[in-house]
Amino acid sequence: MFFLKDVKYKSILDIKNLHIMKNKITCIVGESGSGKTTLLKLLNKMLSPDEGKIFYNGRSIRDMNSIELRRKVVMLSQVPLIFSGSIRDNLLMGLKFSEKPLVSDTILYNILEIVNLHKDLEETADKLSGGEKQRLSLGRILLIDPDVYLLDEPSSSLDEDTEEVIIEKLVSHTKSANKTLVMVTHSKRIAKTFADNIIEIKQGKIVI
Ligand SMILES: Nc1ncnc2c1ncn2[C@@H]1O[C@H](COP(=O)(O)OP(=O)(O)O)[C@@H](O)[C@H]1O
Ligand SMILES: [Mg+2]
């Protein structure tokens, strides 16, 4: 799905060869500051490499329209993005931005079920806790229904039990809907349990 060849970004990343497989769960692990977030941002062109090439399904992403790429490859940032308004508004915002048709409340409640957020769609999003906001942001991204999810520490502010439940649902959704999941995680346990492939980064380089 992705192939990186001799990619360099500032003095932050230096990657000779890296494959990320389609329809698989890939976990990215490594110390804080090792370049994990930077790698995710390179994959959907939020950043562009100074050297080297990144291919998506065989095409160099340099030659792809950024908006078109970001409809297929969606990133969930480490800090949840919450808009003022209701939970419903926040879920629908992603569809509006990506110019996709809006959906019924039944579908929205299904999404809340996947992210384990048992709240009313009318509730104000500002009032949610940090972990709940993170799950709401995740729900927004699931609704956009991209081919690839790039998730930056999606469970960092969740307790272990909730984390396990959410990641499990996410993984089963990825498999049943033939999606590709690339997830940064600080949890070795999560990586060992769910990943088909684990990429470890140390000081900007892939550890083999
Ligand atoms: N835009 C930037 N310009 C310069 N340095 C940056 C920039 N963004 C991040 N960094 C630095 O690059 C390194 C890797 O950052 P990051 O990819 O966020 O690491 P991680 O997600 O693994 O914690 C860190 O040392 C960070 O301070
Ligand atoms: Mg990071």
Question: Ligand 1 pocket test: which of 12, 14, 78, 182 has the largest number of ligand atoms within 8 Å of its C-beta?
Answer: 12
- Tens digit of each residue's pLDDT (9 = 90 or more) over 13-22: 999 999 999 9
Average pLDDT rounded to a whole number, residues 29-44: 97
Locate all alpha helices (DSSP H) within 145-159, ordered by sequence.
none
Atom from ligand 1 closest to the CA of residue 47: 1
φ, ψ of residue 77 to 5 degrees: the values are: -75, 165
**How far is ligand 2, taken at its centre, from the CA of residue 79, in Å?**
10
Q: Is the pLDDT of residue 137 over 90?
A: yes
Q: Provide the pLDDT for residue 103.
A: 97
Task: Please compute Rg for the chain using Cα positions.
Answer: 17
Cα of 107 vs centre of ligand 1, distance in Å, is 37
- Looking at the chain, the whole-number percentage of residues with pLDDT higher than 90 is 85
The domains of the chain are located at: 2-207
Ligand with minimal distance to 78 CA: 2
Q: Is the pLDDT of residue 46 over 90?
A: yes
Predicted local distance difference test score (pLDDT) of residue 160: 82
Residue of 169, 184, 172, 160 whose CA lies nearest to 116 = 169
**Nearest Cα to Cα of residue 17 among 54, 50, 72:** 54
Instruction: Say yes or no to pLDDT of 196 above 90.
Output: yes
Region of poorest pLDDT, from 35-39, 88-92, 124-128, 169-173: 169-173
Q: What is the CATH code for 2-207?
A: 3.40.50.300
Ligand 1 binding residues, C-beta < 6 A: 10, 12, 30, 32-38
For ligand 1, what atom is nearest to the CA of residue 39?
17
- Mean pLDDT over residues 184-206, rounded? 95
The C-alpha atoms of residue 121 and residue 36 are separated, in whole angstroms, by 33
* pLDDT (0 to 100) of residue 20: 98
Is the predicted pLDDT of residue 208 greater than 90, yes or no?
no
- Taking only the tens place, the pLDDT of each residue in 93-112 is 999 988 899 999 999 999 99
CA pseudo-torsion sign 112, 149, 30, 24: positive
User: What is the band of 54 on the pLDDT scale with cuts at 50, 70, 90?
Assistant: very high
Ligand that lies nearest to the alpha carbon of residue 34, given by its number in the listed order: 1
The residue whose C-alpha atom lies closest to atom 17 belonging to ligand 1 is 35
Q: What is the pLDDT of residue 159?
A: 82
**Mean per-residue pLDDT over the chain, rounded:** 95
Atom of ligand 1 nearest to the CA of 78: 21
Atom of ligand 1 nearest to the CA of 201: 22
To test the pocket of ligand 1, the residue of 31, 38, 46 to mutate (highest count of ligand atoms within 8 Å of its CB) is 38
Q: Which residue has the higher pLDDT, 76 or 157?
A: 76
Whether the per-residue pLDDT at 155 is higher than 90: the answer is: no
Is the pLDDT confidence value at 47 over 90?
A: yes
Contact 152, 75 (CB under 8 A): yes
What ligand 1 atom has the least distance to the C-alpha of 184?
21
The C-alpha atoms of residue 140 and residue 196 are separated, in whole angstroms, by 25
Going from the Cα of 205 to the center of ligand 2, the distance in angstroms, rounded, reads 15
Q: Give the residue whose CA is nearest to atom 6 of ligand 1.
A: 12
Separation CA 61–CA 74 (nearest Å): 14
